[in-house]
Amino acid sequence: MLTWKGRILLLFLAVAFVWLFRMPIRDGITCYIYRVDPLRPSSHIVVENWDANIDMFEHTRSICDILNAKDSYSTIEDGAFNDVRKRHAYILNAWAAGIDTTRFFLIPFVRQDPKTLHIAQAVLDTAHARGWKEITIVTADLHSARSRKAYLRAARPYGIGVTIVGGSLDNVTSKNWTANSSGVTMAFEEVVKKIYYDFFVF
């Protein structure tokens, strides 16, 4: 049984350990959950979007500009897709972010676990049906490694090339996630989900 002095010493040593090794720990977590690809020519850009997030739409618009894409798409839960006001919110936020909404479309998916895998399947089914050969996926930085695995798996039977591009979600990126509690929470939730995908999904 530790005395109160022993507990204080143990706490001090634990804090010192975390402080000394904070960079390797942070870098290790980032490497595990962050994995993006170099940009390749692609005419079709799809953003994995949650609740019509304007950050994600702005990043999508910048990718569309760089690649001179023909069109852009956003994933949307089927419940929101069937709700006129929610569907309209996606289009309005895309327009506010500077996306050409005359060439902007929605890809509905059924919310089902594991969610990212089912989103990827809905996107690649759409890509295959439209005869696409290449697709660029815009997702959150901290979600990119898991998205990459899901999309590559869904694309394999169709032979469609997939490029994963990361972006800021609620101002959290792979470079600043340790700056506040919401970023840390987001990163650790993603670690748990990535472990689940690594061991039980793929």
Which residues on neighbouring strands pair with residue 136, listed in sequence order? Answer: 45, 163
Side chain identity, residue 106:
L
Nearest to 148 by CA among 36, 14, 16: 36
* % of the chain residues with pLDDT over 70: 88
Angle, CA of 91, 95 and 98, to the nearest 5°: 145
Maximal C-alpha separation, the chain: 70
Query: Which tens digits make up the pLDDT trace of 139-187?
Result: 999 999 999 999 999 999 999 999 999 988 888 999 998 888 888 889 8
> Which pLDDT does position 197 carry in this prediction?
87
Domains of the chain (ranges; CATH) run 34-201 (3.40.50.620)
On whether the CB atoms of residues 62 and 165 are closer than 8 A, the answer is no
Instruction: Kindly indicate the confidence band of residue 16, based on its pLDDT and cuts at 50, 70 and 90.
Output: low
DSSP 3-state assignment of 199? Answer: helix
Exposed/middle/buried for 169, CB within 10 Å: 0-12, 13-18, 19+? buried
Q: Please state, in angstroms and as integers, the Cα–Cα distance from residue 26 to each residue in 73, 102, 190, 192, following that order.
A: 33, 42, 13, 15
CA angle, 190 as apex, 34 and 96 as ends, to 5°? 75
Q: What is the mean pLDDT of residues 12-18?
A: 59
Neighbours of 130 (CB within 10 A): 12
Q: Which two tokens stand for residue 112?
A: 């089902």
The letter for the amino acid at 62 is S
pLDDT at 21 over 70: no
Nearest residue to 115 (alpha-carbon basis) of 143, 88, 83, 85: 143
Q: Across the strands, what pairs with 167?
A: 140
Q: List pLDDT tens digits, range 44-89.
A: 999 998 789 998 999 999 999 999 999 999 999 999 999 999 999 9
